[in-house]
Structure 1
Amino acid sequence: MNNLNSILIEGNLVRDPLYRTTAKGTALCTFTVASNRYFKQDTGTEKEVGFFDVETWAKTAEHSYNLGKKGRGVRVVGRLKQDHWTSADGQYHSKVSIVAEHVEFRPEFKKDAVPGDSMTDEALAEMPSSSIAENDEAEEETAPVEEFEAVAF
Structure 2
Amino acid sequence: MSLNVVNLVGRVGFDPEVRYFESGKVKCTFTLAVNRRSRNSDEPDWFNLEMWDKTAEVAANYVKKGRLIAVQGSLKIEKWTDRNTNAERSKPVINVSRLDLLGSKRDNEPGLVSGYSGGNDEF
Q: Which has the higher contact order (CA 8 A, sep 6+)?
A: 2
Q: Please tell me the root mean square deviation across aligned C-alpha atoms, in Å.
A: 2.5
1:79-118 counterparts in 2 under 5 A?
79-88=74-83, 89-107=85-103, 109-110=105-106
- 1:66-92 alpha-carbon deviations (Å, 9 max, x no partner): 010011100000000111111222211
Question: What code does the residue aligned with 2:73 have?
Answer: G
- Mark the runs of 5 or more structure 2 residues left unpaired by the alignment: 119-123
Q: Which runs of 4+ in 1 moved over 2 A?
A: 45-48, 107-111
Partner residue in 1 for 2:55: 60
TM-score by length of 1: 0.67
CA distance in 1, matches of 2:26, 2:104: 25
The one of 54, 67, 72 equivalent to 1:72 is: 67
How far is 1:31 from its partner?
A: 1.1
Please tell me whether the aligned partners of residues 64 and 151 of structure 1 are also in contact (alpha carbons under 8 angstroms).
Answer: no
Corresponding position of 1:116: none
Paired residue type of 2:48: D
State the secondary structure of the residue aligned to 1:15. coil
Aligned mate of 1:47, from 42, 48, 54 = 42
- The alpha carbon displacement at 1:131 in A equals 8.6
Structure 1: which 5+ residue stretches go unaligned?
112-120, 125-129, 133-148
Identity %: 31
Which amino acid letter does the alignment assign opposite residue 90 of structure 1? N
Q: Any conservation in 2 of the 1:33–1:52 contact (CA below 8 Å)?
A: yes
State the match for 1:30 in structure 2. Answer: 29
C-alpha distance in structure 1 between counterparts of 2:16 and 2:105, whole Å: 20
Structure 1 or 2, whichever has the larger Rg, is: 1
TM-score normalised by the chain length of structure 2: 0.82
The answer to whether structure 1 residue 150 and structure 2 residue 115 are counterparts is yes
Query: In structure 2, how many angstroms separate the alpha carbons of the residues matched to 1:90 and 1:19?
Result: 28
